[in-house]
A and B are shown apart, each in its own frame.
Chain A
Amino acid sequence: MNARTGKFINAVAAGFIVLVLYLLVLFSGRYYCFEALMEPMPQEWKKVTICPSGLLPGEGSPNQTKDILTYADAGISNDPNTKLSAVQFELNDFFIRSEAIGISRRYMSYLPRRQLSTKDGFYCFDYGDNYYLLFNKHNGLFVYSYPLYPIGPNSFSKVPPKTLGLSTKTIVKSKIYFAGPNGVSETASASLGRFTEPITDKMFFKEKLGLYEVKQRRFYLIDFDERKVTAGLELASGDKREPVAMGEGDYFTGPGWMPPAAKDVNDEWKTKYTFLSDTIEPNERWIGGSFDYSKRHITVLDKSGQIYEVNTVDWSIRDVGFLPVPRSLFSYGQQNAFAAPRDLLNYQITPVYYTLIRTKGNRSPEVKDVKYFGMCTSSLSREGTALAVAVFDPNGKLVCRGDTKGDGGISTASAVYSRSPMARTTLFLLENLQPVVFEIASYLCGDRIEASAGHRALFILPNSFVGMLGRYDGTKFDREVFLPLLMGPSLILSVWLAFRVRKDATIIGLSGTAKKWWTVGTIAFGLSAYITYRLTRPKETLVTCQNCGNMRRPDMETCHRCGSKWEIPELTPPNWRICD
């Protein structure tokens, strides 16, 4: 390694060390500013309530309200003791904080409904006592295990003895099933085939699991009870659908659907389905939700944000809704546009269906009818400052949309920045300390970073003001007008530092090429490049040049200012003389 290469690598290495430490400090500053912005957000700003939901008959048109209405408030009857159905989602700032910190995300992955990935595959659930369902990526099989508890001399039950009122808790054995595309077996044989990249439904009921195999573009239904696997609908190669998730998603923005309720004798609200009760007989009643329905219909989320329902009986597919686009500081959230899941910090999909059950004496209830009323979805914006809610009728048509709103009805995406001017200004200044090159990258390609990763980003900041401007809905001209304003302080600082570096480099005698590289580097990387320069600049003590009088390097043959050598040529006396 020659001296020049060594110096170059040394400067790059020092630059990387400084950059990492510098960006870590900036991240901490930005994180606390974001906390200061989110902290004073009033509780009423965080909720979106659509009441009546508009999904149940007889309740009227859906509307975004602040509170859940009673029948009397809505003018349906004079009964103040009966509440209408509502769709309610809430911006959960605890969740947003957890997403912003990598170490807490790890612990969040343990929570129910989050598939816990391991190096060997992923768990659909794991309740302990050898009761689990996992996908083993090594053999490509789903493994379903459940414990068998002794309840008699030769009888066993899947139900824990405690539930049956029995004292014994000893687990005699576990029953294990393996499932591949070709079937279900008690042994992991190669004849079962293998799944390569399955996306599964998180709902597991009656030993049935719906899944989509990405490589084969085909839906499957595994029935562990009947020990069979049904290969279902295969998406044609020209079909643009790309399923990315199944089921309802996380519940961090819930509760979602709130059924109508009535006060009981103890003055407590109890679920009551008033408008569904017209046609039923005395031994029948409606209950909310239906596992039976959810097993016959799988809710599938597409990469584009479209939601469709796959019928596992006839394997038909139909659109039932989409994830709404939430607002952001520079984006108004178009009414009928889809939000891609990777652009959302979180989302929730809640289908609304009811089951009519008939009870006959002591026999277990019989399902008489299942009704699907529609769906409500919520999208949490990439920045975590706004929530959008959409309600869809059974045909998948958007019937209502709501957004989190601050004072004066403006979106929380804008209102949150007006709560704490100090935090907003500090955040803006800290973002302007980010190197210019990363600011430009945030503007150009910030939206390509997955929303959750964007919160933990050190280099490219999709959630910065510049990053948000990059996703602006308006014209390109507007964007280009705003960009210099948002990046102004950063550019001014970089240019000023580059000027200082260039001036110092001239004084200490760096070569023209080195000066050029340091100038460009300082403009691109700002303060971090300046610190790097100060750490790596030559440390020689300068001496006065006897020829030009400027400071010169003692380790160089010639003065870098005037080019003279160390030995100054003797002055030649002029031929002329001054005479009296």
Chain B
Amino acid sequence: MFTLIIREIQDNWVFFIAAAILACAFSFLIGWQIYFINGMQSLPITILLMVNAVCGILIFCGLGAAQMYWDKMKRISALLTTLPVTRNQIFTARIAAGLLAVAIGFLPTVVTITAVSNLIGPSSIPGVGLVNGPTSEVWILIFLLCFASYCVGLQTGWTSNRIIPTLGSLLLSMILTCVIWIKGFELDAYLILIPFIACCLFRAWRTFSTAAL
């Protein structure tokens, strides 16, 4: 299994590097903004977080689409199944690599913002009150959204057409971000995203496990 995960990372190293660069760049920018400029209250932090989330979503859905697309085009799984490896193992390794990419692109920002906001404490906005840094329910929901984008990529990637995995996954991921816009960080958003991820994973697994390699 570990070898399969390593192989997935090697095949899609561009996305992992992009996720790492994104995480480092935005962690630095947001941390610097919070610590040295205006605390949690400044508008640039919100904008930076949103740009970070959008870039992250693009990378993750791109990764999902690339994994499935190149597997189909290069017949990677056809080769792997000649070895003592099952399709389920290949699929599990693929998802594990995807989760790792999401974690790489996501966790440094969480750690940085949490650490810096703990360091400076909540910010007081005149006439509004205290504003703390993003709380756990915000982070969990953003993580779910990023992973859901990756799953959308898995859905759209299994095709021999180049346009559908590229533009289709981007479009669907952008539509999916509306969940947070509409529902906010409340329970409703979890009730939509968690079944959505489960359905996407099931469909991706079924497509992959029943397809002719």
Interface size range on B against A: 20 to 34
How far is it, in angstroms, between the C-alpha of A458 and the C-alpha of B192 when the chains are bound?
Answer: 10
B202 at the interface (CB under 8 A from A): yes
Return chain B residues, CB-CB under 8 Å to A12. Answer: 199
What is the CB-to-nearest-CB distance from B114 to chain A, in angstroms, rounded to a whole number?
Answer: 15
Residue in B125, B192, B198 with the greatest tally of chain A CB atoms within 10 Å = B192
Return chain B residues, CB-CB under 8 Å to A10. Answer: 202-203, 206
B100-143 with Cβ < 8 A to chain A: 122, 124-125, 127-131, 135
What is the CB-to-nearest-CB distance from A27 to chain B, in angstroms, rounded to a whole number?
Answer: 6
- Residue of A whose beta carbon sits closest to that of B195: A16
Given known pairs A24-B182, A103-B180, the reply for A111 and B195 (CB within 8 Å) is no
Inter-subunit contact A21/B176 (CB<8 Å):
yes
Inter-subunit contact A13/B202 (CB<8 Å):
yes
A488 at the interface (CB under 8 A from B): no
Return chain B residues, CB-CB under 8 Å to A21. Answer: 172, 175-176
How far is it, in angstroms, between the C-alpha of A106 and the C-alpha of B176 when the chains are bound?
Answer: 19
Given known pairs A13-B203, A128-B124, the reply for A105 and B184 (CB within 8 Å) is yes
Given known pairs A24-B176, A110-B131, the reply for A17 and B185 (CB within 8 Å) is no
How far is it, in angstroms, between the C-alpha of A20 and the C-alpha of B179 when the chains are bound?
Answer: 9
How far is it, in angstroms, between the C-alpha of A17 and the C-alpha of B155 when the chains are bound?
Answer: 10
Inter-subunit contact A16/B180 (CB<8 Å):
no
Return chain A residues, CB-CB under 8 Å to B188. Answer: 102, 453, 456
Instruction: Identify which of A13, A17, A111, A456 contacts B128 (C-beta below 8 A).
Output: A111
B196 at the interface (CB under 8 A from A): yes
Inter-subunit contact A28/B178 (CB<8 Å):
yes
Inter-subunit contact B186/A20 (CB<8 Å):
no
What is the CB-to-nearest-CB distance from A538 to chain B, in angstroms, rounded to a whole number?
Answer: 12
How far is it, in angstroms, between the C-alpha of A17 and the C-alpha of B203 when the chains are bound?
Answer: 10
What is the CB-to-nearest-CB distance from B195 to chain A, in angstroms, rounded to a whole number?
Answer: 6
Inter-subunit contact B179/A14 (CB<8 Å):
no
A6 at the interface (CB under 8 A from B): yes
Return chain A residues, CB-CB under 8 Å to B181. Answer: 101-103
What is the CB-to-nearest-CB distance from B95 to chain A, in angstroms, rounded to a whole number?
Answer: 16
Given known pairs A102-B184, A103-B184, A456-B183, the reply for A20 and B124 (CB within 8 Å) is no
Given known pairs A16-B195, A24-B178, A27-B178, the reply for A102 and B183 (CB within 8 Å) is yes
B200 at the interface (CB under 8 A from A): yes
Return chain A residues, CB-CB under 8 Å to B175. Answer: 21, 24-25
How far is it, in angstroms, between the C-alpha of A220 and the C-alpha of B206 when the chains are bound?
Answer: 60
- Residue of B whose beta carbon sits closest to that of A455: B182
Binary B-proximity of A1-22 (CB < 8 A = 1, otherwise 0): 0000010011011101100110
What is the CB-to-nearest-CB distance from A175 to chain B, in angstroms, rounded to a whole number?
Answer: 19
Inter-subunit contact A112/B129 (CB<8 Å):
yes
Inter-subunit contact B178/A127 (CB<8 Å):
no
- Residue of A whose beta carbon sits closest to that of B151: A17
Return chain B residues, CB-CB under 8 Å to A458. Answer: 182-183, 192
A116 at the interface (CB under 8 A from B): yes
What is the CB-to-nearest-CB distance from B107 to chain A, in angstroms, rounded to a whole number?
Answer: 21
How far is it, in angstroms, between the C-alpha of A14 and the C-alpha of B199 when the chains are bound?
Answer: 7
Inter-subunit contact A110/B182 (CB<8 Å):
no
Inter-subunit contact A20/B128 (CB<8 Å):
no
How far is it, in angstroms, between the C-alpha of A367 and the C-alpha of B130 when the chains are bound?
Answer: 35
Return chain A residues, CB-CB under 8 Å to B202. Answer: 9-10, 13
Inter-subunit contact B176/A126 (CB<8 Å):
no
Binary B-proximity of A119-153 (CB < 8 A = 1, otherwise 0): 00000011110000000000000000000000000
Interface size range on A against B: 20 to 34
- Residue of A whose beta carbon sits closest to that of B204: A13
B189 at the interface (CB under 8 A from A): yes
Residue in B175, B182, B185, B206 with the greatest tally of chain A CB atoms within 10 Å = B182
How far is it, in angstroms, between the C-alpha of A456 and the C-alpha of B180 when the chains are bound?
Answer: 11
Instruction: Identify which of B131, B172, B180, B206 contacts A102 (C-beta below 8 A).
Output: B180
Inter-subunit contact B192/A17 (CB<8 Å):
no
How far is it, in angstroms, between the C-alpha of A25 and the C-alpha of B130 when the chains are bound?
Answer: 35
Given known pairs A13-B203, A16-B199, A17-B200, the reply for A27 and B129 (CB within 8 Å) is no
Instruction: Identify which of B124, B180, B189, B199 contacts A13 (C-beta below 8 A).
Output: B199
How far is it, in angstroms, between the C-alpha of A110 and the C-alpha of B125 when the chains are bound?
Answer: 10
Return chain B residues, CB-CB under 8 Å to A28. Answer: 178
Inter-subunit contact B199/A110 (CB<8 Å):
no
Inter-subunit contact B199/A112 (CB<8 Å):
no
What is the CB-to-nearest-CB distance from A120 to chain B, in angstroms, rounded to a whole number?
Answer: 11
Inter-subunit contact B130/A27 (CB<8 Å):
no
Instruction: Identify which of A16, A102, A112, A127 contacts B186 (C-beta below 8 A).
Output: A102
How far is it, in angstroms, between the C-alpha of A10 and the C-alpha of B186 when the chains are bound?
Answer: 28
Inter-subunit contact A14/B184 (CB<8 Å):
no
- Residue of B whose beta carbon sits closest to that of A102: B184
How far is it, in angstroms, between the C-alpha of A125 and the C-alpha of B129 when the chains are bound?
Answer: 8
- Residue of B whose beta carbon sits closest to that of A104: B184
Return chain B residues, CB-CB under 8 Å to A27. Answer: 178, 182
What is the CB-to-nearest-CB distance from A294 to chain B, in angstroms, rounded to a whole number?
Answer: 21
Would you give 6 A-B contacts (Cβ < 8 Å), ordered by A?
Answer: A16-B195, A17-B200, A20-B192, A101-B181, A104-B184, A128-B130
Q: Which residues of A approach B to under 8 Å, CB–CB? A: 6, 9-10, 12-14, 16-17, 20-21, 24-25, 27-28, 101-106, 110-112, 116, 118, 125-128, 453, 456, 458
Please list the 8 inter-chain residue pairs (A to B) with the smallest Cβ-Cβ separation, ordered nearest first. Answer: A102-B184, A13-B199, A102-B183, A128-B124, A24-B178, A16-B199, A13-B202, A103-B184
| Given contact pairs A6-B210, A17-B196, A126-B129, a sample of 18 additional A-B residue pairs in the complex whose CB atoms are under 8 Å apart | A6-B206, A9-B202, A12-B199, A13-B200, A17-B155, A17-B199, A20-B176, A21-B172, A28-B178, A102-B181, A102-B182, A103-B180, A103-B185, A104-B184, A110-B128, A110-B131, A116-B129, A456-B182
